[in-house]
Structure 1
Amino acid sequence: MRILLAIATGVLLAISFPRFYFGWAATFALIPLLFALEQPGNRSSLVSLKVAFRLGYLAGLVFFLLLLYWITFLPQENLTIPYAMFPALLLMTLYLSLYPAVTALTSVWLARRGAPLGLVFACLWTLFEAVRGSGMFGFPWGSLGYALAPYPHLIQFASYSGIWGVSLWLALISGMVHFYLSLPWSSKKVGLLVAMMVVLTIPYAHSRVVLSARQPRAAVRVGLVQPNIGNNKWQKAVRDSVVTVLLEQTKQLADENINHPPDLILWPETAIPARLPREAFYRFRVEDVVTQTNVPLLAGFPDGEPLSEGGYRFTNSAGLFLPNQGMVNRYDKRHLVPFSEFFPLPVLNRLDFGQSNFSSGDKPGVIDNLSQPFGVLICFESIFPGPARELSREGVRYLVNLTNDQWFGDSAAPTQHFYMNVLRAIENRMGLARAANTGISGVIDPYGIVRERSTTFIQARMLVPVELGRELTFYARYGDWILWVTGGLVFVFWGLGRRYL
């Protein structure tokens, strides 16, 4: 029975995310695992630490296998080892499942010393999610709070707490329900029921107040080009045609809006399959179109800077082109994807799995050459709260996300990736425009509401208003303060449990 309960938690967590869109399941997804950590028929007795670890690990295995199945969609032509994506999915799942396993183990250890299991579990779940999303191997994909990204009318408080506050809220709902059901009937249950209703309803009420008080904001007009180019763009035989598609789409977008031209046009991540600053033929073509349309362009491209000691320093970059001026500013991606864009362990660099060999940039993606400065997030960077917050503190007025999600195929990954940007918009209260090679491209307003979006694997272009940020949010100013509060709650619940339970 305990095994089935752990599996149920894994399934409920997985269906909380797109494409299932059962975000409501995230409010009670952790409850089955919590009951699995108790001995059958005796809720005051807990399983051993070894069993707790195994149950948490099983829940994690089920969750991450179902959530990250799209890793197997990685095109085989990009791999030097056939079918390497299948062991990659397995290894990644085995690693990520350690976090719910350690959460379960630590929660049982504390519960044996008087802490209420459900409440400390909720706090530890949030803390270990934050640990999972940090550092060189950080991967916050599937963090509980992202399950509510399609429902911005519930999560406006993220402008204070960030993504981890949303995760804590959802985990606490599960923890409080478990705690309530575990207590014998007494006046304490009435008070706990009232507390549960308060925790459940305050964020919704706050969001209603915030959304009803919205005022029109100043906006810039941003053009998005979704070229829908296949992975064969890296072949020399098709590079010219790829560049031609981008230039034609850009000219058409400008011509369609000649009376009210865009303030900026975005191309996706590595849209140009050439080292644009160093390959004059392609750079001149881009500069010519920018001058013809008289519209600034932010273009994604790979670059390779020759080093004095030999070899190249490769980067995943974005450059701003201005009419009659060429490229005037650029950003080199800083937060690279481990094992895809670089190997985090130098000893493994000799192995060739088809990965890139990019180097990280050394400065944030602030582009301040236009009337309204904006911040650039390339692909993977938008799933982390830190880079966008840093850009907000640097004074940008809106965010742009350039990405190429073609690798994910027709899976849930492009949708999951797109909706994580909702949290970045709310956390920093500024609009976000997104250009994706095969979709999803679109615009999100400062309240996390998706104002326009494309579908996947079609060629598209659109002109969207991107609302500007006004002042730093509480979250932008103070960052992940909620994690310190969450850590403190662990000790508060432990102390109260030892005294009153």
Structure 2
Amino acid sequence: MASFLLSVLSGILTSLSMPGFLSGALIWFSMVPLFFAMERGGIWKKAFLSFFYFFTHVLITFFWVLPTLTENLPLVFGRYPSWLGVVVFFLMGVIEAAPFFGFGFFSHFAPRGTFLRPLYLASIYTIFEYIRGIGELGFTGGRISDALFRHLGLIQVISITGTLGLVFLIVFLNALFYELLKRRKTSVIFTVITFLYIFNATIVHLLPLPESGTFEIVALQPSISPSLKYSTSSREMLKLLEEMLKGREGQVVITPEAFFLEDVRYSPVSSNLREISKKNTIIIGFPAGEKNSVFLLENGTFKRVYSKVKLFPFVETLPYPKVFGIFSFLRGLSYYEPGEEFSVFSVNGSPTFSIGICFESYFPEVSRKFVKNGSEFLVTVTNDGWFHYRVALLNHFVQGVFRAVETRRQFLQVANTGITGLIDEYGRILRVLPMEKKSLGLFRVKPRKEETFYVRFGDWFFYLSILLGGLTWILAKL
């Protein structure tokens, strides 16, 4: 029982280190109770303790999903009772935590030693963190590296390693501190932490000063709740668009995800939209055919520029239908087909850029492929109005911090209720619009052309972790 409570405590501490909770500094010690819990016991006990650690972390970190499943979705779509949302929420926790059975299982073979053991455990954890993000159910939300979004000096390394490098560092130090605590060498822990924060501050001071960009974008934040949005006609949304753009002629305007809920190319508002586009270039989202898409509306012409590739499981697509067919009641307006390419485009001779949709900003490979295809800055459009809590908006927005540093591209998020804001290529949040307020913001974006090591080689750190895990195990046997 004590071991179980320690693993749950680690989950709580990890969640409290996430964006919008208590403090990112907790992440350096959050796994220490788990390592004490796993100190004794068999291989399956360690596997279950590791599972419950991450299960606890996910349920607390994503607590804001629960009211969406039990209130918002049933209210808007009316396909299932609220109590069923609770079941789905716990199932989400099980799916996300399942890979960490593997971490606990393989931790049983960790070598002894103050250095070799932390190196092995960090390698194994990184491997299973990567596995959690792949496949139709893959998701990277709650990655422990998220805790460091304010540590601007340390996170510069992800332009080389990706966020897996930060994951490795966090687990390594937690395992090292566990070993040092057992040996009562607390002074060494204090020295390591002090060095870490001095290093972080030094790198921050060495970063180039923020520069104002040359390309101007007007971001539209209409701030409409889902219950209202799904009962608002396209004509009423058109009226809102006209009202917000009054006096804004000659600019590039980006609206949030699914500004319209129907294919407006063939609706009664089409002619009005075409007229607006003769004064403003508009990038606007709406479902088209079987895809969640973003269109460029310029000089009276609709041009599809991107269709969402990474669809959200159960809401936008049904993963493994033979297994999860009973959960089709969770779908939104309809199920979509994934887009086929990571598009790059420009408007009026602008720098090239790409637009991701909603939770695609959680996936490093999406931004990486945009940049590989020539994108000079990144945009994400989203509708986070489903979520009642500001911590949810912050969790989503700070993904842009990591995508910006990984690719060295400025990152603009345009959201229905917020957070709408611009992040520079070093992860600094330059400006945000007030949350949950109808706003129009002018952002000046700076393009960049060079590719980072991470953009060129992707998640190579995953393969390095496999190599390090194997080598440390072999070295311990010699």
TM-score by length of 1: 0.86
Equivalent residue for 2:275? 288
Structure 1 letter corresponding to 2:477: R
Equivalent residue for 1:270? 258
Higher mean displacement: 367-376 or 472-481: 367-376
Equivalent residue for 2:172? 172
2:296 to 320, 328, 333: 320
5+ unaligned residues in a row in structure 2: which ranges? none
5+ unaligned residues in a row in structure 1: which ranges? 40-46, 256-260, 305-313
SS in 2 for 1:320: strand
Equivalent residue for 1:340? 315
Alignment of 1:332-481 (within 5 A): 332-347=307-322, 352-355=328-331, 356-369=334-347, 370-481=349-460
Equivalent residue for 1:311? none
Measured against aligned partners, the alpha-carbon deviations of 1:281-315 in whole angstroms (never above 9, x if no partner) come to 222222212213xx3211011112xxxxxxxxx11
Higher mean displacement: 463-472 or 146-155: 146-155
> Does residue 67 of structure 1 match 2:67?
no
Structure 2 letter corresponding to 1:3: F
1:219 Cα shift? Answer: 3.3
> Does residue 29 of structure 1 match 2:9?
no
Alignment of 1:3-18 (within 5 A): 3-18=4-19
Alignment of 1:203-218 (within 5 A): 204=200, 207-208=203-204, 210-211=206-207, 213-214=208-209, 216=211, 218=213
Partner Cα separation in structure 1 for residue 9 and residue 454 of structure 2: 34
Partner Cα separation in structure 2 for residue 271 and residue 382 of structure 1: 18
Structure 1 letter corresponding to 2:264: L
Counting aligned pairs with the same residue, the percent is: 26
Structure 2 letter corresponding to 1:266: I
Partner Cα separation in structure 2 for residue 218 and residue 420 of structure 1: 21
Q: Is the 8 A contact 2:356 2:379 kept in 1?
A: yes
Alignment of 1:140-179 (within 5 A): 140-179=140-179
Structure 2 letter corresponding to 1:277: R
Partner Cα separation in structure 2 for residue 236 and residue 170 of structure 1: 46
1:58 to 33, 52, 57: 52
SS in 1 for 2:167: helix
Higher mean displacement: 329-338 or 348-357: 348-357
1:329 Cα shift? Answer: 3.8
| CA distance 1:38–1:352, shift in 2 (3 Å) | closer
Partner Cα separation in structure 1 for residue 430 and residue 295 of structure 2: 26
Equivalent residue for 1:124? 124
Q: Is the 8 A contact 1:119 1:179 kept in 2?
A: no
TM-score by length of 2: 0.90
SS in 2 for 1:291: coil
Partner Cα separation in structure 1 for residue 34 and residue 440 of structure 2: 46
1:219 to 211, 214, 218: 214
Q: Is the 8 A contact 1:126 1:167 kept in 2?
A: yes
Equivalent residue for 2:246? 251
Partner Cα separation in structure 1 for residue 320 and residue 255 of structure 2: 32
Partner Cα separation in structure 2 for residue 224 and residue 468 of structure 1: 17
Q: Is the 8 A contact 2:152 2:427 kept in 1?
A: yes
Please provide the CA RMSD for this pair: 2.7
Partner Cα separation in structure 2 for residue 237 and residue 147 of structure 1: 38
Partner Cα separation in structure 2 for residue 199 and residue 79 of structure 1: 54
SS in 1 for 2:350: coil
Which of structure 1's runs of 4+ aligned residues deviate more than 6 A?
A: 112-115, 192-195
